[in-house]
Structures are given as structure tokens and as C-alpha cells.
Structure 1
Amino acid sequence: MSSPATSGDREKVVSKLPGWLRQQLKVRTAQHGIEIQAAVEQGLTLWTALASTPEIVDTSGADSFATFLPAGQWTNFKTTAKHRSVSMTQGLAQAVQLWLDSNPAPGITRPAITRRIVVCNQKGGVGKTAVTAGLGEALAEDPNALYPVQIAKQLAAESDTDDPLGVENLPGLGLRILMVDFDPQCHLTNQLGAAPLPIDGDSLTNHMGGSPKGDLRDLIVQIDEEHFGGRLHLLPACTDAFLLDVRLSSVRAREAALERALAPLEADYDVVVVDCPPSLGLSMDAAAYYGRRRENEAPGQSGVLVVVQAEDSSADAYDLLTNQIEDLRGDMALDMEYLGLVVNLYDPRRGYIATSSLEGWMDIKDPKVVGIIGERKEQKEAVRMKRPLLSYAPKSQISVAMRALAREVA
């Protein structure tokens, strides 16, 4: 059937498609960045041009499907379907399948050099761990599924409202992610439901200190395989990291200790995300050095992601951190980049202090704000349940914001 419509020079057509085929069409068009109506138009053009009828498509359970097509195309399609003795539902399904076959899912673009994202701020309680986890999870989601994502261009405009406008369903990024819990408090490890490493066993601290007890790869655990498809891994923390600065003080080229430990793992991952401790000591030097831009690495791929809050003490801590990074840049001639600022736990209900502080962060243009994460109950619930936020509450506003952050730094 067809009925007149007012969508430019197109007409609205109504037929049927099976749900599985409609979902594949929705995902694939999002992957290629085109509209569903354009894909159906192309599929029908291909189908009517065939010399013979293609294979039968299973249309059991087909239900209503509507789109807009150029005037006259649906009439030509019905005529061709009649000549081929197939129903319009079957013909449309074959046309959609033909478009899918002609437009395979694009492959994941792997970085030539494994990216390193160092999430830091020596002030405790700003939410570095939550941002590390949410960012890693968002980078690892299924590229063949759709997830709600806040549109980046509306970042500032939407920061003080719960209105979900500006949200689109986009494919997951599908990257292979290693999250490194570099904090002796083990918050990231505990929040994701993993066990901290025993203090009498092997650990990242041992490898950085030059006394490994085995292969660091053996310590890695997989996070929620069902949701993340084996792409999201965690290197758990150990409380022995409280002694890391002491051990590093006697290590040769101590600033490169984290890189020496993690380098053998990098070939297995697209991105390594490091959750740093609230410290300005030698461990932070090693983390910052790990995130430096390497030879032949493109700008903006690796660096420091600073988590702050919309309040005054966070600004004071930020100054201390940037001073340390600038010292490292100057003393060691390092090419260290800021990937941006993340304003976390933002709640406009706290009044002038919160809103004016946010304006202050937004006024900083180098580094710029790349994410505004609200304070939401789903984050606390996920921590309590020891579940990844994006699989526990995938449609929550905070998950939507985490995906926006991932696309800003991806």
C-alpha cells in the first residue's frame, strides 16, 4: 500500500518486514551514517534491476514497516513483484537483504599505536574511577548494536537539564580495551566485581619495581563478556601499590617503569585506560610518562584526561596537577597532551557554586571540557551491585553521557 505524504518529493509507503531484518537495517544504516529511507531506496533500485529473483528471505512474524520513497518507485516495485510472483513483503525483504549484502558492516579502525589514556587528578573523590570505568565500557560496546548517545554538539546546552533531547542511537565503538587499576585503594577492581590481587602474589607493582613473579598477562580478568563480547579487560590492583613510590625511588629510569610493565600487553588492545591514584608522587610521574605522545603517533591519540568537579577545591587541585605535568614536559622534553577535562558529579541543584564553577571550567579552552557527567543514582547502584554501569543501566542518562565522552576522546 502507499499513501500521500508531505516529506518533500517523496511518498509514504507502508508494507511489512520481519523484526530481525528491520533491526539489521537500523544498525547497518547507523554504521554507514545514512538514513533508512535512503537504504531502502537503494535496495529497491538494486532489486528491480536484477535479471532474476534472488533467494527467498524468511519473513515469518513480519509486521508493519513504513518509510518514504521517491514518487513512483513503489509503483514500479509492485509491478516488478507481480511479474516475479512474489508478495510485496517478500520483495521488500529481498531488497533490504540485497542492500545489506551490498553494504557490509564497516570494520573497526585499529590504531597503529595502542592509545594510552591516563585518567588523573590527585584530589580524591572527584570520580576518576567512575569515569575510567564508564569510558572503558563505552569504548568496548558492540559495534553491531545501537546505544543511546548524547549528541556532542549539545554538551554545554544540555549540561543543566535532565531533558534527554539531543540523544541518538549509534553503534558501539567495538574497541579492545584494557583498564588498569593503578590505585592501591582498588576502587576500580572492586567496583567491577573483580578481586584485588593478593599481596603475597604477583602484581603490577612487582613488574614496575623489577621483581615480577610471572607474566602480567596472567593477572588480567575479563569484564562482563555477555555485554562487551570479550573486548573489555581489567588489570586488577593490589594494595602493595601503597609502597610503589618507595620502590620506584631505587629503580633505574623510574619514570618509564609503567611503560616497561605494560608494553608487552599493548599488542592485544586498541586502548589502555589507566585509573591513577590521588597522588603527585613518582607513580603519577610514571603514569604521565606512559601517556606521552610517542614517535610517529598522531596528535590527540594519547595523553592525560583530567577529572574535576564543579567546586573550588577541585580548581586548586587542578593547578597542582598541571604544574607537575608542565615540569615533566620541561625537565624531560616530553610531548604530553591533555585529552581534555571531564566535569564529573555535576548537579545544578547545588546552586551558584556548582553553576559558576562549571562556567569557569567551560571558559578554559586548552584543555577544553570534553564531558559533563551528572550525579545519578544508577552509578551508585552499579557500584553497589559490582556491575559495569553501561550493562547495568545502559539507557540511563549517565550512560548516555559516558558514551558521548568516549566519542569525544575516541
Structure 2
Amino acid sequence: MEAMRAVQILNPSGEVTMPRPERTRVMCVANQKGGVGKTTTTVNLAVALALHGNRVLVIDLDPQGNASTGLNVPHHTGVPDVYDCLIDSVPLAEVAQGVEGIPNLWCVPATIDLAGAEIELVSVVARESRLARAIAAYPGHFDYVFIDCPPSLGLLTVNALVAAQEVLIPIQCEYYALEGLNQLINNINLVRQHLNPSLDVSTILLTMYDRRTRLADAVEQDVRNHFGDKVLQAVIPRNVRVSEAPSYGQSVMTYDPGSRGATSYFEAAQEIAERGVKESR
């Protein structure tokens, strides 16, 4: 079974494809609470979609640069990164790097320089829409653009919300998970009112689900009751393989494609792809 799952996920023949959207879907992965699986979700969904025939760009907007690490893209000081695009208007195409071993995937890395961007952006003209302009000016076509946000609600996250059409919120199946959610939804509504009327919270993904606890079950029920159809059926379990993969500069898809973590992210990616095609009809 595990070997069959691995072949399905790695898709070596390239025969199995996930549906491609009619136009680029720009998805911002946001939650101001840290440690809920934003970066892990961004990296694994991007790899799953890219392995199944979609052209995908990941923009790492977190100064910690974890998405860049997870895709094994160099992001040490001196590497051209997303900071250059936001502050110096360098085109995204000059900064994007191809991800090794995954032909349809590109990544715009984040270096530690990005930590200062929050303050530097304050005095820049049209500071909230710098990222949106950079994406719009990209010469190639992508099916998906994933933006990995920092765990805060500052100007970098606002840039991501203005650039995106959809917000994907990973929610950890723990009690505190629901506490900060209200604040995030309020901020998204503010951005929608003033800066980006087409922004929509399209997808909620439950992460770090431990089916041995009643609490995880209760949180899942709460989230499903509150958000309804926006919550994906696929749920990401707590899985050692998912945690180990970044230390090898890999996603769980390529690190251990037969694991439960890889299967869950594959199912989530498939659901996102199918929903996108339904909605564009």
C-alpha cells in the first residue's frame, strides 16, 4: 500500500494530473499564530501540485526563510530575494529560482534582509501593493502562486493579502488555535474593504490533528460548524515525517511519499485543485 501511495504521489510517469485552473490562483497562506504549519502547508501543497502538472511559484515572505529551506533554495545573505522586489522594484523573474528535481516549481526566496522590510516599507509609495505589482508584471504564466506569510499582521502580510485573491488559513487542532482567528478575519475584512475587494477566505486546512485526543475532534467540529464548506475534507495528521523533511531540504512528498503526512497533503492539494476548477465554471 505504501509503495502504491508513493508512486501515486511522486507521479514519475507524469500521467496523473491535477486539474489546472483557467487563470492563475494567487493564494496567501496566513495565520498570525506561529507554529500552525503555514510553511509546511505552503511547501507541500506547492510540490504536490507541481508534481501533477501545474506550474507553481512559491513566494517566501517570512524573514525566517523556512519555505526556502524546505525547497532547498539558497537564501543566505547576498542572494537576490523578495526584499529586492519589494524595496528596489527588482522584477520577480530575476529573483525566482527553479526548485531542484521538481520541474514545474519555482521559488522566490527570503533572506534575513526581509526582517528590515517591515520598517522600510512604511515610507515607500504604494507600500501595500508592492507585491501585487511584482506578481502582475511577471512575464510567465503560473497556475498557482503561493505566498508564505510571516506569523504577524504587519506590512508584509498586508502586501500578501493585497496581492492574493484567496486566503488559505491553516488551523492547528488545539484550543488556542481559534483564539487569534477572529483578529485575522477582521484584518482580512479590512483589507477587503479598503485595498482588495476581490479577496476571499477560500480554504481552511486543519493541521497537526491527533486523533487520539478528544480536543482535536472538538476543534475540528467547531471549525467545520463555523466555516462550513471552506474547510477541506483532508486533515493533516501529526506526523514525524512531516517534521523531519525540512531538515533534509525536502518536502514530505519527496522525503517519504508513502507516509500518512504525504498522503494527506496530496489529498488536500487535489481538493484545492478540483474546487478551483468547479468555481471557475
**TM-score, structure 1 normalization:** 0.59
2:156 and 2:229 map into 1 onto residues whose CA distance is 23
Change (3 A) 1:276 1:221: same
1:403 and 1:382 map into 2 onto residues whose CA distance is 15
Q: 2:226 aligns with which of 364, 386, 389?
A: 364
Q: Is 2:125 aligned against 1:262?
A: no
Q: 2:215 aligns with which of 353, 361, 380?
A: 353
- Checking the alignment, whether the CA contact within 8 Å between 1:329 and 1:336 is kept in structure 2 is yes
Q: Is 2:27 aligned against 1:117?
A: yes
2:23 and 2:120 map into 1 onto residues whose CA distance is 29
Greater per-residue strand proportion: 1
Q: Is 2:97 aligned against 1:221?
A: yes
Change (3 A) 1:267 1:125: same
Counterpart of 1:332 in structure 2 is 195
**What residue identity is the alignment partner of 1:354?**
A
- Checking the alignment, whether the CA contact within 8 Å between 2:162 and 2:195 is kept in structure 1 is no
Q: Is 2:280 aligned against 1:404?
A: no
1:272 and 1:312 map into 2 onto residues whose CA distance is 31
Counterpart of 2:73 in structure 1 is 194
Shift of the alpha carbon at 1:342? Answer: 0.7
**What residue identity is the alignment partner of 1:118?**
C
**What residue identity is the alignment partner of 2:208?**
L
Change (3 A) 1:353 1:180: same
**What residue identity is the alignment partner of 2:262?**
S
1:390 and 1:354 map into 2 onto residues whose CA distance is 24
Change (3 A) 1:340 1:316: same
**What residue identity is the alignment partner of 2:48?**
A
Q: Structure 1 residues 320-329 or 331-340, which shifts more?
A: 331-340
Q: Deviations over 1:18-61 (max 9, x none)?
A: xxxxxxxxx99x96xxxxxxxxxxxxxxxxxxxxxxxxxxxxxx
Structure 2 segments unaligned to the other structure (5+ residues): 1-11, 274-281
Change (3 A) 1:114 1:377: same
Change (3 A) 1:110 1:355: closer
Change (3 A) 1:284 1:266: farther
1:201 and 1:223 map into 2 onto residues whose CA distance is 15
**TM-score, structure 2 normalization:** 0.85
Calculate the aligned-residue CA RMSD, in Å.
Answer: 2.3
Q: Is 2:207 aligned against 1:344?
A: yes
Q: Percent identity?
A: 29
- Checking the alignment, whether the CA contact within 8 Å between 2:54 and 2:104 is kept in structure 1 is yes
Q: 1:126 aligns with which of 21, 27, 36?
A: 36
Q: Structure 1 residues 391-400 or 320-329, which shifts more?
A: 391-400
Larger of the two Rg values belongs to structure: 1
Shift of the alpha carbon at 1:109? Answer: 6.3
Counterpart of 2:63 in structure 1 is 184
Q: Which has the higher contact order (CA 8 A, sep 6+)?
A: 2
Counterpart of 1:393 in structure 2 is 256
2:239 and 2:63 map into 1 onto residues whose CA distance is 26
Shift of the alpha carbon at 1:192? Answer: 2.2
Counterpart of 1:175 in structure 2 is 54
- Checking the alignment, whether the CA contact within 8 Å between 2:58 and 2:107 is kept in structure 1 is yes
Greater per-residue helix proportion: 2
1:405 and 1:244 map into 2 onto residues whose CA distance is 32
